[in-house]
């Protein structure tokens, strides 16, 4: 049986989770309100403007990610990028004070459930699989 204390040893599972969240963020569009006038990349954004941050597009930014449409957990092998939005390269749960309050619970539960499924089930590829 996999326990929460085992999760820190399951590095590949963490990489798979990060790659899954990069490709399919649970919150693809993050609404915000601009609290002061600002300029971003030459665009003026007035105070009180409602903006939407596209977390889905951030996970597919070609200036950050190589082979964006390929599911490749190994891209996180030497990477310090985390899913908590610290670096803004990957923000599936938003970031900062307005980020998802349940992020820590979600990260533990997802890893624990997937690890338990992999531990308990004998998974085999179907004869009906898609090749790329």
pTM exceeds cut of 0.95: no
Could you list the residue range(s) of the whole structural domain that residue 72 is in? 4-120
Is residue 42, in this structure, part of any structural domain at all? Answer: yes
Is residue 131, in this structure, part of any structural domain at all? Answer: no
pLDDT (0 to 100) of residue 87: 79
pLDDT (0 to 100) of residue 129: 65
Q: Is the pLDDT confidence value at 126 over 80?
A: no
Q: How many domains does the chain have?
A: 1
Average pLDDT, the chain: 91
Is residue 129, in this structure, part of any structural domain at all? Answer: no
Q: What pLDDT digit, counting tens, does each position of 61-99 carry?
A: 999 999 999 999 999 999 888 888 787 899 999 888 888
Give the per-residue SS3 of 43-109: EEECCCCEEEEEHHHHCCCCCCCCCCCCCCHHHHCCCCCCCCCCCCCCCECECHHHCCCCHHHHHHH
Is residue 100 annotated as involved in ligand binding? yes
């Amino acid at each position: 049986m996999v326990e929460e204390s085992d999760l820190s040893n399951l590095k590949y599972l963490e990489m798979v989770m990060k790659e899954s969240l990069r490709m399919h963020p649970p919150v693809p569009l993050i609404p915000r309100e601009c609290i002061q006038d600002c300029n971003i990349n030459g665009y003026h954004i007035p105070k009180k403007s409602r903006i939407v941050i596209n977390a889905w597009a951030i996970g597919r930014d070609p200036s950050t990610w190589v082979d964006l449409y390929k599911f490749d957990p190994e891209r996180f092998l030497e990477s310090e990028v985390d899913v908590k939005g610290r670096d803004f390269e990957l923000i599936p749960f938003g970031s900062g004070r307005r980020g998802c309050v349940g992020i820590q619970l979600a990260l533990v539960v997802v890893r624990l459930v997937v690890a338990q499924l992999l531990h308990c089930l004998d998974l085999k590829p179907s004869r009906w699989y898609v090749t790329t």
